[in-house]
Structure 1
Amino acid sequence: MEAMCEDGRRLYADALSRGRIQRSEAETAPCLLEFALLQPDPDDSAWLRPLPPATALSQRLLPLEREIQRHREQAVQLTHAFEPFLSIAAHSRPTHAINVLEGVDRINEAIQVAQANCRSEILSVQPGGGRSEPTLTTAFRLGQDVLERGLSMRVLYQHTARHSPGTLTYARLMSDAHVEFRTARELVDRLTIFDRSVAFIPAQDDRKVALELRHPGLVDYLIKVFDQQWRSAVPLFQERPDEASVDGITEVQRTIARLLIEGQVDEAIARRLGMNVRTCRAHIAKLAAALGSGSRAQLGYLIARSGLLDDDAAPPDAG
C-alpha cells in the first residue's frame, strides 16, 4: 500500500467532518478512490461519502494479517523440520572447534553475538595507538552493555594509547570496579575472549579474516598468554614506565634498539609498538645521538657493543 497523497489526506478529513464532498473535489486526489475511501452518495451522484475509518483500516489490514499468518505457518513448519537436528546437536559434542570468519561484518557480528551471550568476563587485547572516533563510538556502545550487565572486563592497550585523548576519555567513562585498563610496551596482536570459552584472533594482517576458537585447550592457552601480559602491564592511569630512562635512553628506545638488532625496518617497528613511523624515527634519532652514532649501520654496531640489551628483559628502575 502506497502512502496517501497530501490532497487525499485533506479531502478525506473534510469528508469525514462534513459527511460528504462533491465528486469534482475528489478529482485532485485519485488516491481516495484507489483506496476506496470515498463511495458514491446513493441520494445524489454528484456527491461522495467517506468510508468510516475503522472499516477502511480493517480492509487495508486484512491482506497484511493474512501475509503475517502465512509467515507464521512457515516458521512453524521450519521449526518442526529442524527440531530433530536441534535435539541431536543438544546432546552431541561441538564439532567445530575453529571457525573461519571472512569479512569485517561477519567478524563483528560473531563478536557481538558472543558478547550478548557472555555472562561473566571479557578479556581483550587491543594493540596499536589511540582508537579512531568510529571505533571508540562502537566500543562505547558495546561497553555500555558491559556496564549495565555488570560484566567483568580487562583491556590491554599499548603505551602509545596513553597519548590518545579519545581513548583516555573512553577508558575513564568505562572504568569501574569491574572494568580495568592496562598498557604494555608491546602486544602481539588482537585477542578477545568471552567467558573463558570462546576466543577471537585475526587470521590475516589486514584483519578481514578471523578465527573463532572454541577448543578448550586453545582458549585456555590464550588466557594464560593474556594473564602473563596483564601481570607485566601498567594500569592506564599510572605513570608509564617508558618515561624513565637510563643514561638518557628510555625503555621504548631500548625496545626499538632490540628490534633494530633483529633486522626490523622502521615501518614494522612502528606497527609493532603502536606508533606512527615519524615518531619511531624520532626515537631512533635520539637513540643514535645517545650512543654517538653517525649512521644507521654504525648504530647497530654501537647497540650491540654498548651492552644496552644485556638485561633487556628487565625494565629500568623508575624510582
Structure 2
Amino acid sequence: MAGHGVDEHPHGADRLCEAGDRVYSRAVRRGRVPRTDAETVPCLLELALLHPDPDDMEWLVPTSPQEVMTRLLRSVYDEVSAGQRRVGSAVAAFEWYAGLGRQLRPAAAEGGAAIRVLDGLARIQAAMDEATEACTREVLTVQPGGIRREAELSEGLHRALALRGRGVRMRDLYTHVARHGQGLLNYLELMGDAVEARTLDEVIDRLILFDRTVAFIPANTDRTMALELRHPALIAYLVTVFERLWRLAIPLTAPLPDTGIEGISHRERSIAALLAEGHQDAVIAERLGISVRTCRAHIARLSETLGAASRTQLGVRIAQAGLDGPSGPAPTSVSVPGPGSPTAR
C-alpha cells in the first residue's frame, strides 16, 4: 500500500484523516509505533507528526502534541484572516492528543529534544534554515570529499550570505584536494572576511555547528537523513574535535608544506602513510577526497619514484624513506633508494 500520499488523505496537521488519527493516537499512547504502521498514512511523516526513533529507525516516535500545536499556531497567526477557524480546531484536536501524551516517559521526551532525526531533504533544509536564522555569533563546518561542486556551494549560499549580513563568523575545514576547485575560491572571495578556511589531508564526515548549541551530522550514507543534536555534552565533544582539527589544518591562503623528498608530492606522502597502515585503494581515495583512478595513478608514481616493483616492495620503500609516519616535512637528509642501490634489491 506504499505510495498513498497526502493527496489521498486530504487534511492538515490540525485535523487528521481517520487512518492518520488511529496511527498517531496509538503512537502517542505507546510512545512509538513500527514504521510499517505508517506505510498507509505517509501523511503523518510528511506533516512531521511522526519521525524516526534515533535509537531504532525501524520505529517511529510521535512529535509531542504541544510542539505540533506551537508549530501550527505560528503559521496560523501569519495568516490571521484566513486562519482563525483553524486555531480553534487545532487547539481542540491537540488537547485530546495531549491527554494521551501524558503517558509518555519523561526520558523519551528529553531524548527527543536532544537528538532529532530529520528524514528527507526538505526537513533537513527547513531545520538548517531555522538554525541559520537563530545564529548570532559563529558557525563551524567540516566539509569532506574533494573538489566542491558548484551546485553544493550554491545550495547553502543564501544561508551563508544571511549569516555574513548579521556579522556571524564562519570557519570551514576542507580536504587539501578542495584547494583545486575554482568554485570554492569564488565562494570564499564572495564571503570575504566572514569566512576563514583551512585544509587537511583528510577530515571527519560532514559537520555543521551553530553557535556551539546545535549541530547537524549525516544519519545515513546518502545524506537523505540527518541528526539534529542539541545535547550539551555532544555539542562540547564535537566542538573539541573541530578545534583540534583546526589547529592541525593549514590555512587555504598558505601553501602546502614540501615533503622534503624530491619527486614526492604532499598528496603522495599522505597516500604512502595510508598504504603503510594497510588501507585499500578505495578507502584511501575516499579519505583523501579523490577518485580511485587518481589514487592509483599516485601509487604508480610512488612506486616509480621509490624504485618498487610490487606492492610489498613499495611498503618497504615507504618505511625506508620515512613516509609511513604523520604528514609533514621530511628530514632533508632522507634519500630515496634507487633501483641500483643495495637496499633496492
- Give a deviation string over 1:155-211, Cα, whole Å, max 9, x none: 1111111110111111111121x4211111110211111110111111222222222
| Pair 1:284 & 2:296 matched | no
2:83 maps to which of 60, 71, 88: 71
The equivalences for 1:258-269 within 5 A come to: 258-269=273-284
Aligned mates of 1:70, 1:313 — CA distance in 2 = 64
Distance apart, 1:224 and its partner CA: 0.5
Distance apart, 1:308 and its partner CA: 2.5
1:213 maps to which of 229, 233, 245: 229
Aligned mates of 1:106, 1:313 — CA distance in 2 = 40
Indicate conservation of the 8 Å contact 2:273/2:327, yes or no: no
1:307 maps to which of 307, 310, 322: 322
Quick one: structure 1 residues 301 and 145, their matched pair in 2 at CA, closer, same or farther if it must change by over 3 Å?
A: same
Aligned mates of 1:95, 1:223 — CA distance in 2 = 20
| Pair 1:147 & 2:160 matched | no
Indicate conservation of the 8 Å contact 2:200/2:248, yes or no: yes
CA RMSD of aligned residues (A): 2.8
| Pair 1:188 & 2:200 matched | no
Distance apart, 1:126 and its partner CA: 0.2
The equivalent residue for 2:18 is none
Quick one: structure 1 residues 314 and 272, their matched pair in 2 at CA, closer, same or farther if it must change by over 3 Å?
A: closer
Quick one: structure 1 residues 240 and 79, their matched pair in 2 at CA, closer, same or farther if it must change by over 3 Å?
A: farther
Aligned mates of 1:284, 1:303 — CA distance in 2 = 11
Aligned mates of 2:331, 2:201 — CA distance in 1 = 15
Aligned mates of 1:134, 1:318 — CA distance in 2 = 42
Structure 1 regions of 5+ residues with no counterpart?
Answer: 1-66
Q: How many residues were matched structurally?
A: 244
Indicate conservation of the 8 Å contact 2:120/2:225, yes or no: yes
Distance apart, 1:118 and its partner CA: 1.2
* SS, match of residue 99 in structure 1: strand
| Pair 1:170 & 2:187 matched | yes
* SS, match of residue 188 in structure 1: coil
Residue identity matched to 2:328: P
Indicate conservation of the 8 Å contact 1:121/1:194, yes or no: yes
Answer with 1 or 2: which has the greater Rg: 1
Indicate conservation of the 8 Å contact 2:269/2:327, yes or no: no
1:293 maps to which of 303, 308, 318: 308
2:239 maps to which of 187, 199, 223: 223
- Give a deviation string over 1:58-78, Cα, whole Å, max 9, x none: xxxxxxxxx985632222553
TM score, norm. by length of structure 1: 0.69
TM score, norm. by length of structure 2: 0.64
Residue identity matched to 1:316: P
* SS, match of residue 237 in structure 2: helix
Identity %: 47
Distance apart, 1:301 and its partner CA: 3.3
Residue identity matched to 1:164: G
Aligned mates of 1:83, 1:118 — CA distance in 2 = 32
Aligned mates of 2:273, 2:202 — CA distance in 1 = 12
The equivalent residue for 1:239 is 255
Aligned mates of 2:331, 2:208 — CA distance in 1 = 31
1:131 maps to which of 148, 152, 158: 148
- Give a deviation string over 1:245-270, Cα, whole Å, max 9, x none: 42432332222112222332222211
Aligned mates of 1:180, 1:147 — CA distance in 2 = 12
* SS, match of residue 202 in structure 2: coil
Residue identity matched to 2:90: L
